Amino acid sequence: MATLGDIGVSALINILTAFAFLLAFALLRIQPVNDRVYFPKWYIEGKRNSPRHRGNFVHKFVNLNFKTYLTFLSWMPQAMKMSEAEIISHAGLDSAVFLRIYTLGLKIFGPTAIVVLLVLIPVNVSGGTLFFLSKDLVVSDVDKLSISNISPKSLKFFVHIGMEYLFTFWTCYILYKEYGRVASMRLKFLASQGPKPEQFTVIVRNVPHQSGRSISDSVEGFFKKNHPDHYLCHQAVYNANKFAKLVRKRNRLQNWLDYNQLKLERNPDKRPTSKTGFLGLWGKKVDSIEYYKHQIKEFDRMLTIEREKILKDPKCIIPAAFVSFNSRWGAAVCAQTEQSKNPTLWLTNWAPEPRDIFWKNLSISFVSLSIRRLVIGVSVFALVFFYMIPIAFVQSLANLEGLEKVAPFLRPLIEWKFVKSFLQGFLPGLALKIFLYVLPTILMIMSKIEGHVALSVLERRSAAKYYYFMLVNVFLGSIIAGTAFEQLDAFVHQSATQIPRNIGVSIPMKATFFITYIMVDGWAGIAGEILRLKPLVIFHLKNMFLVKTERDREKAMDPGSVDFPETLPTLQLYFLLGIVYAVVTPILLPFILVFFALAYLVYRHQVINVYNQRYESAAAFWPHVHARIIASLLISQLLLLGLLSTKKAANSTPLLVVLPILTLAFHKYCKNRFEPAFRRYPLEEATDKDMQDHPESNANLKALLADAYLHPIFNSFEEVELVEVKVDKNQSPSPSPAASEPDDKNQSQASSPLSELSSPSPTHQHAHNHDDEQSQKVQHYEAGPPGDIFHYEYQQSEYMYHYDVESYHHGYHY
């Protein structure tokens, strides 16, 4: 059991670690060579120029202005200058509402900490029960500040019950005000936006097969019949997953080609070579550049064949489509109503914004979705309990004194005071953090298998799984496994009637473990977040070995977005710890407050200067945040109810029964009052927004929607031709004159840079007759792995195609 001294050692270690990280960040951020790592968002928006373009050679790498070193902590006030409205304009509503979660924690726990520390600490200390139980149970000075120190049947429990009521009412009040504020911000944000494709488009899934009709014809006929006044156009969805896999493989080959060409540029006298066997360890020795050029040419051929197969084969059109309407009102009616008497057909929902789509999952059938989600549900359940094994082991590290009583032979190993303090005060939280490191990746893979079609939904589902895992393993698992292990000696040698008493007394004692975890993850971990050590190293490695152009450098500095699948559940765990222990062990609250204050400052800086959100969901995650804080309140009330029952507080315990009922009633009211703003779009708002649109925007609506939801396989074709392919469904596109008849203009295009080339659109249902094609065609692949853009071209007697691999990289997140 960790003592106050152990917690002090842990606090010292984590404070020094956090200070070191913050100091390193403050110094590294002002160096010109690191400017793109710590301010990438401003470069992406084109509002910042590299300081390396000025000064002599040394100035390009090191900041020689010593005055800036005296104000190296200026980032803190700078992070607080931007208003919330400016943050919404600069980084989006998701980022602004994400920051409000930290201020919500400060609003809830700030006043609460003052009250409970002034009221409950003196009450708990005056109990004195643990002094008499110390011979049987492992206790520490921290436990004497908790409710465990109150003797059974004491009237002092009325103080704890009163504080629980006061804390619950205060939390619900803050939640109500915040929910209303966020809902208002969401509606205002949506109303302030100009015409966007997702405002007029719904996604339709499980389109029924009709004999003699294609999926595209079925969709068009259905919506012209049922939405005759508002249907505008639709975009079919293609199963191009195999094509994407080929693109990814070609992408890797292009990386190797570029790497070897770079080696040749640095050493022109020696051509690079490699072996053709497994991982280049054995096999025939060949010229690397020629070998990879040949491999890429073969993949170009396979990509062309696969693409033409997709275009010609009706089976490659999956039973789903993006259907666009001529008004927001029409889209809202379609998205929020049932389209068929068979509730499993013609399933409609609001389409995600184009950059939010996870294209790979659009090809999953309705039956497969149900099976996948059942299998993943069972798998998540198994994963949660599989992780109980390492969690229980971590708890054994936190309870060395309990281990000594059961296994005295280990006593010499932990006799040294500093080693003991380190093991109990720092190592358990660090070990738990390491065990949890790989979990978000596993849960994201599971969410993708479930078949969700939007990245934002994928992240919310992954965050939900992670939250349930943290609740069961980190919280309940730590309490149950740690308490049972810690009091094992008492459980073994005392009668069974005493076990409930020991558990009731021991649950609050786990606060010491959670305090160490908060300091490791919430203090040092957040300071490590702003340091960005991993992105710093990766950027400089890419800049040294891979970057050749300015666009390469932009890709190398890509900061990504806030990691919602991991950050939100971690935040909700801190809410859970603060809410549960506010009345049970109030000494934990100051550590929670330090976390929320530091994290708010750090993430404010990151949102303003670093992260670039890849989608905008207009704070769609807020109902989940609200619901899980309510769940934390219920868990807190039930645990306190169980704890008091072990204290034989028969007179006071029944007063708590009403509190969960009131909490659930409050949650239901908030759900009915505010959640519709996050689930549905009011027809009143849609009508008002349609009436505000300028007539010119209505005239250009079809052009706006024409290629917004075009599958990535077509993303790089000429825009004018794309409109012809997608919108005019009744006509088969034909080659443009510039492509089918060689003339001066076409010849000039063939000799121009690749980025200036244009191409005819492919037909959806008819194959070109290649025997009649005479013009020379150029295929252009633009591969976009992280940090590299490459160009390769060859000629053949076909139409010119241009594949943009970056679209696939975004859509599938390779």
- Looking at the DSSP bridge assignments, the partners of residue 325 are 231
The predicted-structure confidence for 283-297, as pLDDT tens digits, reads as follows: 788 888 888 898 888
Is the pLDDT at 543 greater than 70, yes or no? Answer: yes
The pLDDT score that the predictor gives to residue 550 is 64
Q: Which amino acid is at 45?
A: E
**Looking at residue 557, what DSSP letter applies?**
T
Q: Which of 114-118, 277-281, 397-401, 462-466 has the lowest mean pLDDT?
A: 397-401
More confident residue, 423 or 745: 423
d(CA 642, CA 646): 7
Confidence band for 461, pLDDT divided at 50, 70 and 90? very high
- Other CB atoms within a 10 A radius of the CB of residue 231 amount to 20
The predicted-structure confidence for 23-76, as pLDDT tens digits, reads as follows: 999 889 988 888 899 999 998 888 888 776 665 667 677 877 777 777 777 888
The pLDDT score that the predictor gives to residue 618 is 92
The pLDDT score that the predictor gives to residue 717 is 32
More confident residue, 491 or 788: 491
Burial of 245 (C-beta count, 10 Å sphere; 0-12/13-18/19+):
middle
The pLDDT score that the predictor gives to residue 407 is 54
Confidence band for 731, pLDDT divided at 50, 70 and 90? very low
The pLDDT score that the predictor gives to residue 715 is 55
More confident residue, 752 or 161: 161
Is the pLDDT at 762 greater than 50, yes or no? Answer: no
Is the pLDDT at 756 greater than 70, yes or no? Answer: no
d(CA 18, CA 20): 5
- Looking at the DSSP bridge assignments, the partners of residue 204 are 321, 348
CB 323 within 8 A of CB 222: no
DSSP H stretches of helix in 51-128: 66-70, 75-81, 84-91, 93-125
The pLDDT score that the predictor gives to residue 285 is 84
Burial of 609 (C-beta count, 10 Å sphere; 0-12/13-18/19+):
buried
Is the pLDDT at 813 greater than 80, yes or no? Answer: no
Nearest to 724 by CA among 757, 765, 761: 761
The pLDDT score that the predictor gives to residue 765 is 36
Confidence band for 667, pLDDT divided at 50, 70 and 90? very high
Confidence band for 221, pLDDT divided at 50, 70 and 90? very high
Is the pLDDT at 181 greater than 80, yes or no? Answer: yes
The pLDDT score that the predictor gives to residue 785 is 33
Long-range contacts of residues 533-542, Cβ cutoff 8 Å, at least 24 apart: 535/37, 535/559, 536/28, 536/34, 536/37, 539/36, 539/37, 540/33, 542/786, 542/787
Is the pLDDT at 398 greater than 80, yes or no? Answer: no
Nearest to 324 by CA among 196, 193, 197: 197
Is the pLDDT at 101 greater than 90, yes or no? Answer: yes
Q: If you search the block for the tokens 């992280």, which residue do you land on? A: 786
pTM above 0.85?
no
The predicted-structure confidence for 314-343, as pLDDT tens digits, reads as follows: 778 888 899 999 899 999 999 999 999 988
Is the pLDDT at 306 greater than 90, yes or no? Answer: no
- Other CB atoms within a 10 A radius of the CB of residue 557 amount to 22
Burial of 634 (C-beta count, 10 Å sphere; 0-12/13-18/19+):
middle
More confident residue, 253 or 804: 253
The pLDDT score that the predictor gives to residue 84 is 93
Beta strands in 216-280 (DSSP E): 231-238, 273-275
- Give the chain's mean pLDDT: 77
d(CA 340, CA 202): 15
Structure token pair of residue 503: 């558990």
Nearest to 577 by CA among 558, 596, 561: 596
Q: DSSP characters for 441-489?
A: HHHHHHHHHHT--BHHHHHHHHHHHHHHHIIIIIIIIHHHHHHHHHTHH
The predicted-structure confidence for 123-144, as pLDDT tens digits, reads as follows: 888 865 554 444 445 456 666 7
Confidence band for 779, pLDDT divided at 50, 70 and 90? very low
The set of residues, in sequence order, having a beta carbon less than 8 Å from that of 809 and lying 6+ positions away, is: 251, 784, 785
Pairing, β 777-783 against β 802-804 = parallel
Share of the chain above pLDDT 70, in %: 73
**Dihedral angle computed from the Cα positions of residues 741, 744, 746 and 750, in that order, rounded to the nearest 10 degrees:** 130
The predicted-structure confidence for 547-579, as pLDDT tens digits, reads as follows: 765 667 778 888 888 999 999 999 999 999 999
